[in-house]
C-alpha cells in the first residue's frame, strides 16, 4: 500500500490540517497553563477508554469504568468493561513513561503483552494517582502468577517424559516467542506475524517525521487501520497516535484523547475505501476532540471557581481543597471513593460532598455518585 502524500492530496488536506494544528495548539497551551490541567488529563483517560470501545462497536458507561477502576463495581464487570479498563491502564502507562517510549520496540512489546522483562519496562517519569497497593492486587497479576505455575509444572512433566522415552538427547527446535497474555496458545496464528507487522509500522514513523504532526498522526493511524498489526489489541493504535503527538511536542501537557473525537465521525467516513476521505476523517476527529477538550476545560474551570468560594475562608487543614482536586480528576465520585482517598469515614465523606456543593448525578439511595456536569 502506498503512503506517499502527493501534491493533489496535500492540497485537499491542507484546510483540515491547518484547523487540526490550530485546535491542538490551543488545547495544549490552555491545558498546560490552567490550574485544572492535571484533573483534565486524568479525566481524559476515562473518556478516551470509553471512546475506544465505542469506535469498536461496544458501549461502556464511563460511570461503570470509574467504579471498576476503584474496585467498587456495582455489578459483575462485563468483557467490554474489562477491555476498557485495559485501555485505561495502557494510557496511564504511556503517560507515566518518557514521551518516545511507547513508539520504541520495547514500548510496543510491553504494551502488546510480549517481552515483559525488566529491560523492556518503561522508565516512569511521572507519578500516578493510583495507590500502589491497588496496583499490586490486580486480578490479571494474580491470574498470571497461577498460569506461570501451571506452565512450570507442565514443563517439568514434559522433561520427565522425554527422559524416560529417550527423547532428551534429540535436538530441540528453537521455541517461538509466545505472548504472555496467551499462555495456552489459543489465539496464535503462524500466518499472522504480528511482530513483523509492528516492525513495518514502526518503520513508517521515520517517513512521517517529515510531515507536520497532525498529518503524520493521521497517516500513521490510517496505516494502523489497514495493516491491523494486533488483532486482539486493535485499540492500541489510537493510543500510539496520542503518544506520537506527544513525542513530536504537539500535545505535551496531557495524553491526547484521539478516540473521543473519532467516535463523533461517521463510520462510513472512517472506513471509506477512499484514502483521502479516511485521512480527512482522522484530521476532523483531532479537531473535534480538541474542541470537546476546550469545552471540558471551561466546565472544570467554572466548577473549580465555584468550589473555591466554598472553602476560601476555611481552616488551613481543611479537606475540601483535596476533595476539589479529586472531584476534578474523575468523571464521577462516590462517597466510598472519597472516604478512601481522603482517609475519612463514610459519614465524613458525605458531609464534605454536601459542603463542597457539587451536583448528585444518580438520584438514588444506593450507589450515589456526584460529578461535574
> Domain extents for the chain?
20-133+191-293, 311-371
- Name the residue among 75, 71, 50, 67 with its Cα closest to residue 131: 71
What's the burial of 283, exposed, middle or buried (CB within 10 Å: 0-12/13-18/19+)? buried
Fold of 311-371: Arc Repressor Mutant, subunit A (1.10.10)
Tens-digit pLDDT profile for the chain (373 aa)?
456 666 778 888 999 999 999 999 999 999 999 999 999 999 999 999 999 999 999 999 998 999 999 988 878 889 999 999 999 999 999 999 999 999 998 888 888 874 333 333 444 555 544 444 444 444 554 566 667 777 777 777 777 677 666 544 444 555 555 555 555 555 555 566 777 888 889 889 988 888 899 999 999 999 999 888 888 889 999 999 999 999 999 999 999 999 999 999 999 999 999 999 999 999 999 999 999 999 999 999 999 998 888 877 777 778 888 999 999 999 989 888 999 999 999 899 889 988 888 888 876 656 788 888 7
Note the pLDDT tens digit of each residue in 206-252: 888 888 999 999 999 999 998 888 888 899 999 999 999 999 999 99
Q: Do domains 20-133+191-293 and 311-371 have the same CATH topology?
A: no
- Name the residue among 61, 119, 115, 31 with its Cα closest to residue 295: 31
Fold of 20-133+191-293: Fic-like fold (1.10.3290)
Q: What pLDDT is recorded for position 302? A: 93
Q: Are 99 and 243 in contact (CB under 8 A)?
A: yes
Q: What pLDDT is recorded for position 296? A: 94
What is the pTM (predicted TM-score) of this model?
0.78
CA–CA dist 303, 282 (Å, integer)? 31
Q: What pLDDT is recorded for position 135? A: 44
**Cα(first)–Cα(last) distance of the chain, in Å?**
45
Q: What pLDDT is recorded for position 120? A: 39
Note the pLDDT tens digit of each residue in 290-322: 999 999 999 999 999 988 888 777 777 788 889
CA–CA dist 28, 38 (Å, integer)? 12
Amino acid at each position: 500500500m502506498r503512503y506517499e502524500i502527493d501534491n493533489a492530496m496535500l492540497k485537499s488536506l491542507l484546510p483540515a490540517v491547518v484547523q487540526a494544528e490550530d485546535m491542538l495548539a490551543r488545547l495544549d497551551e490552555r491545558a498546560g497553563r490552567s490550574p485544572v490541567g492535571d484533573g483534565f488529563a486524568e479525566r481524559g483517560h476515562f473518556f478516551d477508554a470509553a471512546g475506544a470501545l465505542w469506535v469498536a462497536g461496544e458501549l461502556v458507561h464511563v460511570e461503570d469504568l470509574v467504579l471498576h477502576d476503584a474496585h467498587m463495581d456495582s455489578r459483575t464487570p462485563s468483557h467490554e468493561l474489562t477491555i476498557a479498563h485495559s485501555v485505561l491502564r495502557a494510557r496511564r502507562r504511556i503517560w507515566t513513561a518518557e514521551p518516545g517510549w511507547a513508539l520504541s520496540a520495547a514500548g510496543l512489546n510491553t504494551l502488546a503483552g510480549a517481552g515483559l522483562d525488566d529491560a523492556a519496562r518503561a522508565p516512569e517519569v511521572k507519578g500516578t494517582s493510583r495507590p500502589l497497593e491497588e496496583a499490586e492486587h490486580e486480578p490479571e497479576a494474580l491470574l498470571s502468577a497461577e498460569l506461570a505455575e501451571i506452565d512450570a509444572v507442565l514443563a517439568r512433566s514434559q522433561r520427565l517424559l522425554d527422559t524416560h522415552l529417550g527423547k532428551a538427547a534429540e535436538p530441540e527446535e528453537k521455541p517461538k516467542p509466545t505472548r504472555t497474555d496467551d499462555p495456552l496458545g489459543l489465539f496464535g496464528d503462524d500466518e499472522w506475524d504480528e511482530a513483523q507487522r509492528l516492525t513495518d509500522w514502526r518503520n513508517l514513523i521515520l517517513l512521517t517525521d517529515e510531515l507536520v504532526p497532525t498529518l503524520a498522526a493521521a497517516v500513521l493511524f490510517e496505516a494502523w487501520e489497514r495493516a491491523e498489526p494486533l488483532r486482539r489489541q486493535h485499540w492500541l493504535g489510537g493510543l500510539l497516535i496520542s503518544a506520537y503527538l506527544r513525542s513530536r511536542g504537539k500535545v505535551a501537557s496531557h495524553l491526547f484523547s484521539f478516540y473521543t473525537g473519532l467516535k463523533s465521525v461517521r463510520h462510513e467516513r472512517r472506513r471509506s475505501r477512499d484514502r483521502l476521505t479516511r485521512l480527512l476523517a482522522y484530521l476532523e476527529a483531532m479537531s473535534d476532540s480538541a474542541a470537546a477538550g476546550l469545552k471540558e476545560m471551561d466546565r472544570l474551570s467554572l466548577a473549580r471557581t465555584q468550589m473555591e468560594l466554598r472553602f476560601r475562608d476555611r481552616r488551613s487543614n481543611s479537606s475540601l481543597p483535596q476533595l476539589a482536586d479529586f472531584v476534578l480528576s474523575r468523571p464521577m465520585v462516590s462517597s466510598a471513593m472519597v472516604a478512601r482517598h481522603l482517609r475519612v469515614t463514610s459519614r465524613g465523606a458525605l458531609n464534605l460532598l454536601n459542603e463542597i456543593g457539587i451536583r448528585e448525578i444518580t438520584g438514588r439511595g444506593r450507589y450515589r455518585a456526584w460529578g461535574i456536569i
